[in-house]
Structure 1
């Protein structure tokens, strides 16, 4: 792998926001900060359109700080939020979709995403903070959490209120569709895993590949089960990685961290990471048979001691563990007891 976003990489090391950069004629990257988030910022990509106006890929977190940064970035490239004609969303997470409604209200722009993510964002549970809490708590209990422990990690309904107001799309993009951004050929590439409807975008004139959160240069994106997701998100993610890795692209433009070259090498690294994780989890199942995902997560290697995990970090860890268990089951390596709270044992081979 080769780092091509050197200014982004240097800013990351200095723990500061990177600059707005012109990447190609009529294409810019705009960093939009994520308040209090370890990923620090999401990169919004701005495209100047034939006939005037701008297109955006992802918008950033919904906050005043982020809104100010996005507007300032558009001003820096000689535009304004009112010039935006269309917004492509790689996936439904708040740091990508959060500001889309403000952009639409300010500019009249359309918003587009994959139908699978649109269905989640528009679901009655997602639009109701109290229902979202109930659904997530129930899901964690089904993975082995005690109800009070699950409720403490999920938190109050008020925390879910911002997510319940995220933009619903005006347009849907399926795999292979070309976005309506005149002067560019941005073809949607459905890459499920991080979310059911995650999209990358292949720009066919320049060869650039906008990878969203599907392929990042340093970290492995979280691949988790959810109460409203797909049954085997990790299996779908690995299949998507394999397909994407076959592409010969001059540069990858991810949503976080920095631009890079070497898509095939990076997808291979990510696949190897998950195979190691699957092997570690299988060993844990063999050592502690009849364990729940909640229990097994505490037996795995994490970036810090398990005792320090709580709230959203623990939820991500447990649901990521569950995603790995489901893939082991699909491969015939573990079996579930079934029931309200499944317990896992190694399959007899």
Structure 2
């Protein structure tokens, strides 16, 4: 894999925000910070459109600091938020969709997503923060979390209230649809796994591939089970990786970290990472049969000692463990006891 976003990579190493960059004629990357998050920023991609105006891929986290970074970044390329005609959203997460409502209010721009994520956003918009908190707590308890730990990790309604006010999209994009960005040929590529409606965008004129969170150069995106989500999200993710492996783009432009070349190599590394993780989980089940997803997560290797995991980090770890369990079950390697809080054992061969 070849790093092409050298300024982004250097900024990552120095723990600073990378610069606004002109990538091609009429195409720029604008870093928008994510407060208190190890990913640091999302790369918003801005396109000059034939006939005037700008198109965006993603918008950034909803906060005043992020809004300032986005508006200042657009000013640096000679435009402004009021020039935005349309927004393509790779997926429903807050660091990608969060500012879309402000952009639409300021410019009248349309917002487009895949139907699967659009449906989820619509449901969230009709849910109270209190109900969302209660549902997440019950989901974690159903994975084996002690109720007190689930309450502590999810926190109060104020922690989720902003997520329930995200922009419901005006337009829907299915796999293979072309976005209405005049002068560009952006084909939507449905890549479920990270979310059910995750979209990448293949720019057919330049060969660029905007990979969202589906393929990142350094880390694997979180692939988790969710309340009322996909039944086997890791299988979907791995299938989606295989689906883009052989596209041979001229450059991969992800939503985080830095640009790179070598999509096939990176897909192979991500696939191998998850197979290694599945093997580790099988060993943990063999050593601790009858364990819940909550218990098994504590027996896996993470980036820091398990005792340091809490709140959202622990939630992601446990739900990611559950996603791996579901794939092992679909492969016929493990089975649960079918109880209200499932426990897992190896399936005899």
Same-fold status (TM-score > 0.5): yes
Q: Secondary structure at the match of 1:37?
A: coil
Partner of 2:113: 113
**Structure 1 residue 125 displacement after superposition:** 7.4
**Structure 1 residue 207 displacement after superposition:** 0.5
2:286/2:346 contact within 8 Å kept: yes
Q: Write out per-residue CA displacement over residues 210-262 of structure 1, whole angstroms, 9 at most, x where no aligned residue.
A: 00000000011000000031000000000000111111111000000000000
Question: Runs of 5+ in structure 2 lacking a partner?
Answer: none
**Structure 1 residue 346 displacement after superposition:** 0.2
1:48/1:54 contact within 8 Å kept: yes
Rounded Cα–Cα distance in structure 1 between residues aligned with 2:309 and 2:333: 28
Partner of 1:317: 317
1:89/1:113 contact within 8 Å kept: yes
Partner of 1:141: 141
Rounded Cα–Cα distance in structure 2 between residues aligned with 1:23 and 1:84: 19
Could you list the runs of 4 or more consecutive aligned residues of structure 1 that deviate by over 6 angstroms after TM superposition?
A: none
1:126/1:163 contact within 8 Å kept: no
1:252/1:259 contact within 8 Å kept: yes
1:238 and 2:244 matched: no
Paired residue total:
349
2:174/2:190 contact within 8 Å kept: yes
Q: Which residues of 2 match residues 1-349 of structure 1 at below 5 A?
A: 1-123=1-123, 127-349=127-349
Q: Secondary structure at the match of 2:123?
A: coil
Rounded Cα–Cα distance in structure 2 between residues aligned with 1:18 and 1:52: 27
1:121/1:127 contact within 8 Å kept: no
Q: Write out per-residue CA displacement over residues 140-193 of structure 1, whole angstroms, 9 at most, x where no aligned residue.
A: 010001112111100001111111100000001111110111111111000001
Q: Write out per-residue CA displacement over residues 51-70 of structure 1, whole angstroms, 9 at most, x where no aligned residue.
A: 00000000000001000000
Question: Runs of 5+ in structure 1 lacking a partner?
Answer: none
Rounded Cα–Cα distance in structure 2 between residues aligned with 1:270 and 1:152: 32
Rounded Cα–Cα distance in structure 1 between residues aligned with 2:242 and 2:87: 27
1:154/1:312 contact within 8 Å kept: yes
**Structure 1 residue 37 displacement after superposition:** 0.9
CA RMSD of aligned residues (A): 0.8
The TM-score with structure 1 as length reference comes to: 0.99
Q: Secondary structure at the match of 1:122?
A: helix
Q: Write out per-residue CA displacement over residues 87-117 of structure 1, whole angstroms, 9 at most, x where no aligned residue.
A: 0000000000000000000000000001111
The TM-score with structure 2 as length reference comes to: 0.99
